[in-house]
Structure 1
Amino acid sequence: MKNKIFNTNDDWTGFVIRLTLGLIMFPHGAQKMFGWFGGPGFSKEVEHLTEYMHLPWIISVMVILTEFWGSVSLIMGLASRLWSVAFGVLFLNIIFIAHLENGFFMNWFGTQKGEGYEYHLLVIGLCIALGLNGSGKYSANQLISKK
């Protein structure tokens, strides 16, 4: 099992995919976890997800932990396949819970009632590619799989 999670190709593809996904998700996770980048912080985000989005508190906590620790792990290249599954499941659920009714396109011009799901599909695509490829060059997985 360890080899399947930590095994990776020594290539630039995994490196680019995991850094893209990790660096894009890090500010979102940091907003929710610590209130950085103008975010609400942990307790207010849990409150938002439970009261406004009607999620159970444990799911709300898992969303925050996944976005923060998952993005940090992706940047480091640690268990990228595992985190790609977690992000893929998270973003698939986000589509169905919050964005499907708004259609495909993001709300670039403020003419829709909410955001569409095109961004979420891009994240899911990156997750699938990362899950198939692994962390790539300069990753903690590379160090672990060599041992």
Structure 2
Amino acid sequence: MMYKDLINSIIATDDSLIGFILRITLGIVLFPHTTQKMFGWFNGPGLAGEMSFMTTQAGLSVFTAIVAITIECLGTFMLLTGTATRIASAGIFGLFVGMIATWHYRNGFFMNWFGKLPSGKEGFEYHLLVLGMCIAIFIAGGGRYSIDKWITGR
């Protein structure tokens, strides 16, 4: 019985539009980045290029790079569908904390809006927005039109 209660508390959500709007917005923003890394779409590096960057330039282990890419890709899909939304938001939160801690902090706060940083160098302002959205999604749950809502039937 405790297992079922735990699962229900993780996926519990209401019919609110807030969770829906937050998770869809974040999912839509993350989707192009995910497909750049996985498939090379939108002039992205593709999986081989991303793995090379993460293991050579960012200094991550192969295992850590695989976990990071998996969290971003799977988490984006989970957000867009509203499946285990709290788990997805927690994973993406951890991923973005890691991005700040291992790479983006050294480039300062601001994104490279005016091209003053070398190519590929961005600050962490975008990452802070993602962190805030993840916290709100974690609190609100998947909301309306989510698999979580459909599973719980509430």
Which band: TM-score by shorter chain? Answer: over 0.9
* 8 Å CA contact retained: 2:72, 2:95: no
Deviation at 1:44, TM superposition (A): 2.2
* 8 Å CA contact retained: 1:33, 1:65: no
**Which residue matches 1:121?**
128
In 1, Cα distance between the equivalents of 2:14 and 2:106? Answer: 39
**Which residue matches 1:61?**
66
* 8 Å CA contact retained: 1:14, 1:134: yes
2:82 to 77, 81, 96: 77
Amino acid at match of 1:10: D
Deviation at 1:77, TM superposition (A): 0.5
**Which residue matches 2:100?**
95
1:3 to 1, 5, 8: 8
Range with bigger deviation, 11-20 or 109-118:
109-118
Deviation at 1:112, TM superposition (A): 3.5
In 1, Cα distance between the equivalents of 2:50 and 2:140? Answer: 33
Amino acid at match of 1:68: C
**Which residue matches 2:37?**
32
Aligned-residue Cα RMSD (Å) equals 1.3
Deviations 1:75-116 (A, max 9, x none): 101011001011111101111111112221112112245321
In structure 1, the gaps of 5 or more residues are none
Number of positions where the alignment pairs a residue of Structure 1 with one of Structure 2: 147
**Which residue matches 1:138?**
145
- Identity %, equivalent residues: 44
Amino acid at match of 2:149: Q
**Structure 1 residue ranges (4+ consecutive) displaced by more than 3 angstroms after TM superposition:** none
Range with bigger deviation, 37-46 or 124-133:
37-46
Deviations 1:114-144 (A, max 9, x none): 3211100000000000000000000100011
2:112 to 107, 117, 126: 107
Amino acid at match of 2:99: I
**Which residue matches 2:48?**
43
In structure 2, the gaps of 5 or more residues are 1-5
Amino acid at match of 1:135: G
